[in-house]
């Protein structure tokens, strides 16, 4: 991709309005992105499985269990589901809950291949109230660059804890935007009431914070389980390093 293509925004292949919001898909040579009101929601690279951004750090959690059951709250273009499936194959069972029906269609056209993912259209906070037995619940749900309020409430955190297996993990992407930064410390304290809370080292040049909230395993056990079975090429070594340098909050 040359600088002119980046400046102009690439070739727009899809543009859909969801109420007052606009969802667009752009192709830039070997790269494809989904934008929601101009904010990048998903990214894929034709030359590597890894995006070198925050999405990459969720898939390794699938290696904490031999055959994990995964629920994703917030779909975007499906980057996380695509990566986890490519790494775990049929050993992973994945579901997603997405509030916008139109995003499901965007995802189906965005991904490079079929991914076995059961998608339910609805509210994620309501969905987890009746959910049970998930090994991993991943939260990556945003309105522009803010997590909706219901996902940082004590009630939601409690519902997620109940929906997880006894050794389950709740993992989330938290963007420290101007408003989000003010609420971060309080949210972490809410999480710590029910989980062991760790921050994955994703680098300094990002506002994305990946939190891993574990019901049972400490950070050493999580890293040990990932390292023993996570097979990454040289391009993905930095992901494993991020878990090795995971810190407790």
Nearest residue to 23 via CA among 34, 33, 31, 32:
34
Predicted confidence at residue 2, as pLDDT, reads 40
List of residues 6+ apart from 16 with CB closer than 8 A: 22, 23, 24, 102, 105, 106
Query: DSSP characters for 21-67?
Result: EEEEEEEETTEEEEEETTEEEEEEETTBS--SSGGGGTGGGGGSSSS
How far, in Å, are 121, 122, 150 from residue 126 at the CA level? 11, 8, 9
- pLDDT tens figures, 169-182: 999 999 886 566 77
What pLDDT is attached to residue 162?
A: 98
Whole-number pLDDT of residue 181: 73
- Decide: pTM greater than 0.85: yes
* CA pair distance 139, 123, nearest whole angstrom: 12
Low-confidence ranges of the chain (pLDDT < 50): 1-8
| Distance (Å, whole) CA 21 – CA 10 | 20
- What is the pLDDT, as a whole number, of residue 179? 63
Residue 7: the pLDDT is: 40
User: CATH top-level class for 49-248?
Assistant: alpha beta
User: What residue spans define the domains of the chain?
Assistant: 49-248
Q: Which residues contact 63 (CB under 8 A, 6 or more apart)?
A: 87, 88, 225, 226, 228, 229, 230
* pLDDT tens-place string over residues 119-130: 999 999 999 999
Residue 176, class by beta-carbon neighbours within 10 Å (0-12 exposed, 13-18 middle, 19+ buried)? Answer: middle
Residue 198 phi, psi dihedral angles, 5° rounding:
-125, 150
Gap between the Cα atoms of 16 and 18, Å rounded: 7
């Amino acid at each position: 991709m040359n600088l002119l293509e980046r400046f102009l925004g690439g070739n727009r292949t899809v543009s859909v309005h969801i109420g007052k919001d606009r969802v667009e898909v752009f192709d830039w040579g070997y790269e494809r992105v989904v934008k929601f009101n101009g904010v990048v929601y998903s990214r894929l690279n034709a030359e590597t499985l890894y995006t070198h951004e925050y999405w990459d750090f969720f898939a390794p959690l699938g290696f904490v269990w031999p055959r994990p059951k995964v629920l994703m709250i917030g779909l975007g273009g499906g980057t996380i589901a695509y990566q986890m499936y490519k790494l775990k194959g049929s050993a992973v069972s994945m579901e997603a809950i997405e509030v916008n029906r139109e995003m499901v269609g965007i995802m189906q056209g965005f991904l490079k291949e079929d991914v076995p993912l059961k998608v339910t259209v609805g509210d994620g906070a309501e969905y987890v109230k009746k959910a049970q037995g998930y090994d991993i619940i991943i939260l990556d749900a945003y309105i522009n660059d803010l997590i909706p309020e219901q996902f940082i409430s004590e009630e939601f955190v409690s519902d997620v804890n109940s929906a997880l297996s006894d050794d389950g993990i709740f993992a989330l992407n938290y963007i420290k935007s101007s408003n989000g930064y003010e609420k971060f410390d309080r949210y972490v304290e809410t999480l710590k009431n029910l989980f062991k809370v760790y921050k994955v080292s994703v680098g300094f040049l990002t506002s994305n914070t990946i939190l891993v909230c574990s019901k049972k395993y400490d950070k050493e056990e999580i890293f040990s389980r990932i390292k023993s079975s996570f097979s990454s090429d040289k391009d993905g070594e930095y992901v494993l390093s991020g878990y090795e340098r995971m810190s407790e909050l």
